[in-house]
């Protein structure tokens, strides 16, 4: 009998994301699967269930991360402030990447930095490696600009992407922050600076307080909110970014609160080419299987030959257009 590991996913789920051939639209998000090896210990999980795995955020030098507490469960979500704990790019490239099986899925590096020069240096190091693509985490604070996050300023975002573009020919995916005034303008600037793809969205900033001690629960005071609580926001941001990215044929990884096949299908309809799974993995490590099966069933039921036929197919009723024009 064929095992779950050996079963092939339906051909309708295969897609091209910025030149990456993926066997599924499901992407495992950075920070949720370590450096790709953690889930190999979960019984029943196979890397083949994911079209791509995004590795833990990596910086130029090793980082210890933030003081505890780093994670706190919230209603329908989770706050995290890990602080980019990682062993540094040299350790990842020299000792971790060689242990990964690139025949099973695509592996994408997630890079972070405190200066534009940091981003460029980490990109250059990954360019000379087996990694399939590079995701730019522009939600990091720029220490040369008083701690302002790169991702909340279109000029800063574009500078980072441009610097990374100069150091690699690998596909670049820019992870956009929802904590900004105009995500469409930021998306446009990142595309024009050389981004091949976009990830929409990163976490929203939030906090929690211990009412007995009247102190913040998260050691860093604030953290990134993820999980089902942010799904409606993420879905709207994907739709908005698709309006900008679509004409450029720049694909989107839609992410934020996806826990079911139905959630994933919504993001595809809104304009995402692939869908990222993060917080859901903490309580259902095998959720990829059910999401893949649900998407495949939907495509078959609605007569879509492949996943790309569903992307960006959201319909708007005429009466809603009339009301919007008059209101």
pLDDT > 70: percent of the chain: 93
* Inside any domain, residue 4: no
Name the residue range of residue 235's domain. Answer: 11-326
165-207 per-position pLDDT tens digit: 999 999 999 999 998 999 999 999 999 999 999 999 999 999 9
Number of domains comprising the chain = 1
Q: Are 25 and 275 in contact (CB under 8 A)?
A: yes
* Inside any domain, residue 298: yes
Q: Where are the beta strands (DSSP E) in the chain?
A: 15-17, 20-22, 26-28, 52-58, 71-74, 77-80, 106-111, 133-137, 141-142, 148-149, 172-176, 197-200, 204-206, 209-210, 215-216, 223-226, 252-255, 274-277
* Inside any domain, residue 119: yes
Note the pTM of the prediction, 2 decimals. 0.94
234-250 per-position pLDDT tens digit: 999 999 999 999 999 99
Q: Are 318 and 27 in contact (CB under 8 A)?
A: no
* Inside any domain, residue 50: yes
* Inside any domain, residue 6: no
* Inside any domain, residue 237: yes
Q: Are 106 and 20 in contact (CB under 8 A)?
A: yes
* Inside any domain, residue 3: no
Give the domain CATH number at 61. 3.20.20.70
140 labelled catalytic: yes
Catalytic entry in 112, 140, 164, 288: 140
* Inside any domain, residue 271: yes
Range of lowest pLDDT (64-78, 115-129, 144-158, 258-272): 144-158
């Amino acid at each position: 009998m064929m095992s779950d590991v050996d079963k092939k996913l339906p051909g309708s789920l295969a897609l091209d994301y910025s030149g990456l051939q993926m066997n599924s639209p499901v992407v495992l998000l950075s920070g949720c699967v370590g450096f790709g090896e953690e889930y190999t210990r979960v019984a029943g999980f196979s890397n083949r269930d994911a079209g791509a795995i995004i590795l833990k955020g990596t910086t130029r030098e090793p980082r210890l991360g933030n003081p505890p507490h780093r994670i706190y469960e919230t209603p329908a979500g989770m706050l995290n402030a890990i602080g980019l704990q990682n062993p540094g790019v040299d350790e990842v490239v020299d000792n971790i990447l060689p242990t990964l099986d690139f025949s099973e899925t695509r592996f994408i590096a997630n890079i972070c930095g405190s200066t534009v020069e940091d981003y460029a240096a980490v990109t250059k190091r990954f360019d000379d490696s087996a990694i399939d693509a590079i995701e730019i985490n522009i939600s990091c604070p720029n220490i040369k600009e008083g701690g302002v996050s790169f991702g909340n300023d279109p000029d800063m975002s574009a500078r980072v992407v441009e610097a990374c573009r100069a150091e690699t020919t690998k596909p670049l995916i820019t992870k956009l922050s929802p904590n900004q005034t105009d995500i469409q303008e930021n998306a446009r600037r990142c595309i024009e600076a050389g981004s091949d793809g976009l990830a929409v969205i990163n976490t929203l900033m939030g906090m929690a307080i211990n009412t007995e001690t009247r102190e913040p629960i998260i050691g860093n005071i604030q953290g990134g909110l993820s999980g089902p609580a942010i799904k409606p926001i993420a879905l709207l941001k994907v739709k908005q970014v698709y309006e900008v990215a679509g004409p450029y044929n720049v694909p989107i990884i839609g992410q934020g609160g996806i826990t079911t096949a139905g959630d994933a299908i919504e993001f595809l309809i809104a304009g995402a080419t692939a869908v990222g799974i993060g917080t859901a993995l903490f309580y259902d490590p095998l959720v990829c299987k059910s999401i893949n099966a649900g998407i495949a069933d939907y495509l078959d039921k609605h007569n879509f030959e492949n996943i790309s036929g569903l992307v960006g197919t959201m319909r708007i009723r005429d009466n809603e257009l009339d009301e919007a024009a008059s209101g």
